[in-house]
Amino acid sequence: MVECLGEAGRTDAIAGHGRAGHIGLQLVREAASAEVAVLSAIADVKATIPDARLVEAGPDCVGVTDAAAS
């Protein structure tokens, strides 16, 4: 399934397999906000892997620019 992401041009994902039946993805993308980045990542993954389901989103979704604006 991870190969499908790359073939679809979604090459900002680093994948890992920690639990059976789960794929962990770390995505690096620029967006107007962390929320926009997360929502676009979910949409991209769902477009490529329609049965994918978000189980957890980690705290690393805030970049230096977002932190500086706080």
| pLDDT at res. 40 | 87
Lowest mean pLDDT among 21-25, 42-46, 56-60: 56-60
Structural domains of the chain, count: 1
Q: What is the pLDDT of residue 62?
A: 55
Please report which confidence band the pLDDT of residue 20 belongs to, taking 50, 70 and 90 as the band edges.
Answer: confident
Alpha helices in 1-70 (DSSP H): 2-7, 34-48, 64-69
Domain limits at 32?
A: 2-69
CA 44-50-55 angle, to 5 degrees, is 80
pTM passes above 0.75: no
Higher pLDDT, 41 or 3: 41
